[in-house]
Structure 1
Amino acid sequence: MEIAIYCGKTYSLTNELCSKPLKEVKVVDYNSVVDWISSQKGRAFLIFGTDVIPYSLYEYPKIPVDETPLFKFMERGGVVIWAGDVPFFYIEKDGIKEGLFNKGNPFPFKPINVMEHKPLSEKSENSIVGEMLKYDPKDSWRPVEPHPLLIPISVVKSHPYTLYSTWIYKYGKGAFVRLYDSPYVNTQYIPSLPERLSSLGIGIRISNFRRFRDFKMIFPEFRIGVILGKNNVGKTTILEAIAMLGKNEDKIRKFRGNISTGIAETELFVNYTYYRVDFSYSQVNRSADVNVLLIYSHDMDVVINDKVLPYVKSSLRKVTELLNSFDPNIFYVYLSSGNELRVLFNDRTDVSINELGYGYKSLLNFILLYVIYQPRIILIDDLEGFAFHPELLKMFYDFLLKIDVDLILITTQSSDIYAYLAEKRSDKVRFILINDDKYEVLTSEEVLDKLYYEDLRYTALKIH
């Protein structure tokens, strides 16, 4: 991991970073920073030990922002870490500090409270990303309004609306990380940030929703998570809280009644993308749109009405192709003149979906929903309700491991469900044991080791 710290000639709030730099961090100055940044072709970290941008890296407005060496560095995958005063407020020209902010802002958002010399808020608090980074939030002087390209680290909620105090701005393959928007700067924490950023995985936070007041789960990266736990421990609630990030409120109301009596909140960080929703019985506010497919296994029939009919018709070729990977005897899936879903087999057998065995019917419905909605997140409640034969279940797991999604979460009470998946020994799979707001995460190998002497459903009861 390549890490450098820029130490200029002008005083700033972060000078201490340059007075005692770490041995493993390369110190660069006004001139050498250009050579260092030009030599980095991928992921590397540039920490600013002074909160003044050098003109050698940012010749704006002489050249466009995206053509400056600093932004080209981020475009290639580099990460800039900035603490102290407002980014790009001042520029250094070989030791001379000049104002820059009134000449143009390189970001598609801007800080508020810029000219005030006092905090906008005495208190900020971590987002789920801040929790993952183990950040220590302080007062907030120069927060920004939420923006789709921003990942909040800490936020201000005492304002009439949420503001981002510290944040990550995704740019190209890299990022610009803003820390400590106040005179307080923890110079011991900042050098540890490259390692923390590199190890970010998946974070989930559920607040004020059913049994969860402030429930946080932080995981390494995975594709499929299997949630295990006793009845009424909150497995389905976790899925529904995440499902609210997409447009699933009507489905949840249908099967669970009232969504929330108060204002609930879900945060999800996955695949370096941040999602947030706050919701109540009558109102839903999402930070961004994401396709989330929530499936209750006891009711997953696709209702073909006028609204979904065009999508069903356009998806049948792809549905047939995917089903054929499970059963080569399937020739085609089609709609009858009465809009009934039917399957034509190679031997000319023509069967209505309602005449198929329940496992086959579940598979067809799932694939149809997957093709129609093209979800980034898939949530399956009680997978055993699909009624798959063990061989079909194993094939289904292979399918889930191959499809292009960010996250799949499955709840189950079946030992077969988790045992067969563990046998895949995939590093894309984790098993999440839940018990009374506590959780434990196991790999496939750890699950297989435990299976010799204990059922995981009982292991979950021991978590404290």
Structure 2
Amino acid sequence: MEIAVYCGKVYSWTDEICKHKVRLPVLNYNSVIEWISSRGERAFLIFGTDVIPYTLYDYPNKPINETDIFKFMERGGTVIWVGDTPFYYVDKNGVKEEIFSKGNPFPFVPKNFERKPMSKNSENTIVGEILEYNPKESWRPVGANPSLIPISITEKERGGEMLYSTWIYRYGKGRFVRVYDSPYVNVDYVLSLPGKLSNLGIGVRIRNYRRLSDFKMILPNFKIGVIMGKNNVGKTSVLEAIAMLDTNNVSKIRAFRGRISDQIAETELFLNNEYYRIEFSDASSTRIGDARILLIYSSNANPTVTYEPSILRKVTELLSEFDPNIFYVYLSAGNELRVLFNDKTDVSINELGYGYKSLLNFILSYVVYQPKIILIDDLEGFALHPELLKQFYDFLLKLDVDLILITTQSSDVYAYLAEKRSDNVRFILINDGKYEVLSSEEVLDRMDYEDLRYTALKISNEVH
């Protein structure tokens, strides 16, 4: 990770960072171009003065995407900006010129150009919580935009427009990070941002959904997470609140629960550099981001789908990884799903053992929906034999998905997964709004003398 600070001769609102004795390379009008031209991924350029130098942004003489600062972001570099509106002014050899009226490089426009706060209050999104940002009054918020990851938002009236006070704009492989959209700047925080941005993990926040009045988890990056806790602590509710980010799950949750929510609930998810948010109730929903999520209740795992030949060929291929004796999965003339084995045995799916049937239905659902997130409630309900369960975990670890969350009350379910010793696995113990996250090695170390299902009952400290 390389970090440098740009300090120009002119500024609009702030030069606080440049007044500090920073232990980083400090670049000027001319040296910044040499530094930025040879860097990309894992490089951070912090603007200590909030006027862009013409050496980096010679617009309109060059198209925006051909300016050096945007080429830096295209290669994977990160720009951190504080103070006045980004790209509003340009510094041409020490002379400040307004160029925003000639062209805005962003697909959004600030909602306020007056020299006064638009909102005295703003609050963090789950991304702001991950970044430990301290939100301040907002002077230059922008409207919600799918190209932005919000860090903090302005408080809004019910039904009013949501505005992003601070945000991350994704461009190419890189990003433009906008914090402190006011004359106020916390220098120490800004200088710490490269480290925080380099370690962005997974964030979940759920409000007003069943028992979860304001529940949040800030997690490291992993692929499979196993959630454990006592009955009625909210394990299933966590999965359902996340599943609501995909409209395909609404009817499934309503059928299982009888209703969604009498009050307006909210879910935020930050995963794999994508931000998702939904406000929902029985009556309506408003969402940001398009998530593909497969929710499976083990007590109701049968998919209701149409089986195209291409789907059944893929299902056969995946199921053969568990049992090489399978020749083909097909749909009979009577529209019945059947399995043909190499020895010519031909059976209906309903004649298979419960565990085998659960596995086949899971693979069918996965192939049909092609989800990026998979949520399985009570995996022990699949009734998989220990050897088949171990194979199932190997299968899950190879799937092309961003996240798999599993709830369980079974020691076998968590113990066999821990034995895989995978860095892509974590175990989440929750109790009364608190949680603890363990690695496979930590679980294996504890298993000799404690049962994690009982450990979860004792969690009362702050987040681990």
Equivalents in 2 of 1:424, 1:21: separation in Å? 48
Equivalents in 2 of 1:302, 1:31: separation in Å? 62
The aligned amino acid for 2:217 is M
TM-superposed CA distance for 1:265, in Å, is 0.3
Query: Would the aligned equivalents of 1:57 and 1:70 in 2 still touch at CA under 8 Å?
Result: yes
Q: How does 1:56-455 map to 2 (within 5 A)?
A: 56-114=55-113, 116-159=114-157, 160-247=160-247, 248-303=249-304, 308-309=305-306, 312-455=308-451
**What is the Cα-based RMSD across aligned positions, in Å?**
0.9
Equivalents in 2 of 1:150, 1:158: separation in Å? 18
Percent same amino acid among aligned pairs?
71
Q: Secondary structure at the match of 1:342?
A: strand
Residues 379-410 of structure 1: per-residue CA shift (max 9 Å, x gap)? 00000000000111001101111111111000
Query: Would the aligned equivalents of 2:40 and 2:73 in 1 still touch at CA under 8 Å?
Result: no
Q: Secondary structure at the match of 1:227?
A: strand
The aligned amino acid for 1:390 is P
Equivalents in 2 of 1:79, 1:41: separation in Å? 8
Q: Secondary structure at the match of 2:300?
A: coil
Query: Would the aligned equivalents of 1:168 and 1:176 in 2 still touch at CA under 8 Å?
Result: yes
Q: Secondary structure at the match of 2:69?
A: helix
Residues 63-119 of structure 1: per-residue CA shift (max 9 Å, x gap)? 1111111011001110000010000110001110000110011011111112x1211
Residues 273-309 of structure 1: per-residue CA shift (max 9 Å, x gap)? 1100110111011102111000000111122xxxx42
Change (3 A) 1:246 1:21: farther
Equivalent residues, number: 457
The aligned amino acid for 2:330 is Y
Alignment gaps of 5+ in structure 2: none
Query: Would the aligned equivalents of 1:431 and 1:443 in 2 still touch at CA under 8 Å?
Result: yes
Query: Would the aligned equivalents of 2:375 and 2:406 in 1 still touch at CA under 8 Å?
Result: yes
Equivalents in 2 of 1:79, 1:56: separation in Å? 17
Query: Would the aligned equivalents of 1:430 and 1:441 in 2 still touch at CA under 8 Å?
Result: yes
Q: Secondary structure at the match of 1:449?
A: helix
TM-superposed CA distance for 1:43, in Å, is 1.8
Equivalents in 2 of 1:42, 1:229: separation in Å? 40
Residues 416-440 of structure 1: per-residue CA shift (max 9 Å, x gap)? 0000000000010000001111100
TM-superposed CA distance for 1:249, in Å, is 1.1
The aligned amino acid for 2:446 is K
Equivalent residue, structure 1, for 2:7? 7
The aligned amino acid for 1:392 is L
- Shift >2 Å, 4+ stretches: 11-14, 311-314
The aligned amino acid for 1:237 is S
Equivalents in 2 of 1:250, 1:317: separation in Å? 28
The aligned amino acid for 1:287 is I
Query: Would the aligned equivalents of 1:43 and 1:174 in 2 still touch at CA under 8 Å?
Result: no
Query: Normalising to structure 2: TM-score of the pair?
Result: 0.97
Q: Secondary structure at the match of 1:289?
A: coil
